[in-house]
Structure 1
Amino acid sequence: MEEGLRERKKRETRLRIADVAMGLFMIHGFDNVTVAQVARAADVSVNTVFNYFGTKEDLFADRQQEVVDLSSKVVRERRPGESIVAAFRRDFFDALETGDWRYGMGEGAEVFSRVVGESAALVARMREVEHLSATNLATIIAEETGAGPDDLTPQLVADQILSTTRLLARHAIRRKMAGEQWPEIWTDVRTQAAGAFDLLESGIGGYGRRSLAGEAGEQSEAAEDHIDGDHG
């Protein structure tokens, strides 16, 4: 259905407020900016801001749902013959090569990280986003693989993959904050990421492999043995 004029204007207003707020937060720090200042800069009332955003943290985390949904998209769109780990490996390196923000390593990532680190409220919010992402990813993995409600494997796989990508992103951001240049950092992250995904693939690489017919594959015997700890 085509978006109506009213809906489009509301979406544009929300986006403008969020963009203005983020700009102020990046310059002055989250705790040093009030909702009233955001409203003035966006040329709206404080009430209008709260009509779109329930809290000040919501202003900062305007793309939260998009972030939470990103990993699920990788699983759902994995290619025929591709496992869940392989799909994330491909997507991670694509983001790295293109400078896309989806794994937290785009342009300005170090500024974003600094602002979060300076605010206890934002640190808590980002932990919440990480939890939601892992829970959502586990749900999608369970759906794709047909795992039962008492099967912990989807959550284990989700936690391992997301912990790996977060660790790589934080490694890159720490180096950037130390004054290194992105080209040098990216070279190192490529190497570190290759090793990290090799380790993941040695353990859970066969899990959730999509069949060549396009259907979700069953968990491989090797992955079952690794996860269950039955190594003889």
Structure 2
Amino acid sequence: MPRTGARGGPQTRARILEVATGLFVERGYDAVTVAEIARAAGVSSVTVFNHFPRKEDLFLDRQDDAVELVRAAVRDRGPGVDVLASLQHATERLAEARHPLSGLDERSLPFFRTVAASPALIARAREIAAEIEEALADELDRDPAFDGDAALLAAFLVAGYATVLVATARRRLAGAAPEELLDDHRARVTRLFSALRGGVAG
């Protein structure tokens, strides 16, 4: 989300994001400066940073979506639906919709190539995973119906889903089309949640 007082509103933010994404994909993340993005978008560098506090946020911009996804899966699940069932359903919906967070979006290939070529983006992706894990653990701790180890479940789930996503990304980079990967992706998600429900090692 943009900072309070960020100039230009959603349209400016969207334009900056579009320009930045195009430049990063074309030239590589590390070869593009924030000043270049600002010039190409017709704004100042200050405006860019008002909307995106870190350069990495100009490319890895789905953190808020992911955090809200896991929080909503815990917070908004129906009566009698346990946490794991709700989280599994949420991840399955991502795959069915070919959502960018599933890695099955047709447009994911240039994204994966750009991230794989940038140590800074890889490092930031790991930080984001840790932030999602923290958000999920916090939501589980707030849930009166959950009596398990919130931190442990969040750690296993986020790490497990990241493993599924990386496997999908590697196969995309190797040339597989999203439709070729859907069944395997779904099967890996099912195995992940079966392991979580069975106590991981069980």
Task: Note whether the superposition's TM-score is higher than 0.5.
Answer: yes
| Contact 2:6–2:50 under 8 Å retained in 1 | no
Match of 2:176 in 1: 180
C-alpha change, 1:83 and 1:166, in structure 2 (3 Å) is: same
Gap runs ≥5 in structure 1 = 1-5, 205-225
Match of 1:163 in 2: 159
| Contact 1:57–1:121 under 8 Å retained in 2 | yes
| Contact 1:95–1:102 under 8 Å retained in 2 | yes
C-alpha change, 1:100 and 1:53, in structure 2 (3 Å) is: closer
C-alpha change, 1:55 and 1:164, in structure 2 (3 Å) is: closer
C-alpha change, 1:78 and 1:102, in structure 2 (3 Å) is: farther
Match of 2:130 in 1: 131
CA distance in structure 2 between the partners assigned to 1:28 and 1:187 by the alignment: 33
| Contact 2:71–2:136 under 8 Å retained in 1 | yes
C-alpha change, 1:86 and 1:39, in structure 2 (3 Å) is: same
| Contact 1:172–1:189 under 8 Å retained in 2 | yes
Aligned-pair CA distance for 1:8 = 9.0
| SS of residue in 1 equivalent to 2:53 | coil
Which digits, 9 at most, give the CA deviation of each residue in 1:123-156, with x for residues without a partner?
1211111111101110000001377xxx981000
| Contact 1:103–1:165 under 8 Å retained in 2 | no
CA distance in structure 1 between the partners assigned to 2:6 and 2:31 by the alignment: 32
Q: Which moved more, 1:55-64 or 1:93-102?
A: 55-64
Match of 2:102 in 1: 103
Gap runs ≥5 in structure 2 = none
| Contact 2:25–2:111 under 8 Å retained in 1 | yes
Question: Counterpart amino acid of 1:192?
Answer: R
Match of 2:116 in 1: 117
Aligned-pair CA distance for 1:38 = 0.9
After TM superposition, the structure 1 = structure 2 runs for residues 1-232 of structure 1, keeping only pairs within 5 Å, are: 9-145=8-144, 153-203=149-199
Identity of aligned residues (%): 36
CA distance in structure 1 between the partners assigned to 2:48 and 2:121 by the alignment: 19
Which digits, 9 at most, give the CA deviation of each residue in 1:161-213, with x for residues without a partner?
11221111111111111111221211222222222222222238xxxxxxxxx
CA distance in structure 2 between the partners assigned to 1:129 and 1:29 by the alignment: 20
| Contact 1:172–1:185 under 8 Å retained in 2 | yes
| Contact 1:26–1:111 under 8 Å retained in 2 | yes
| Contact 2:112–2:173 under 8 Å retained in 1 | no
| Contact 1:68–1:129 under 8 Å retained in 2 | no
C-alpha change, 1:62 and 1:190, in structure 2 (3 Å) is: closer
| SS of residue in 1 equivalent to 2:199 | helix
Which digits, 9 at most, give the CA deviation of each residue in 1:67-103, with x for residues without a partner?
3332111111222211111111111111111111233
Give the alignment's Cα RMSD to 1 decimal.
2.6
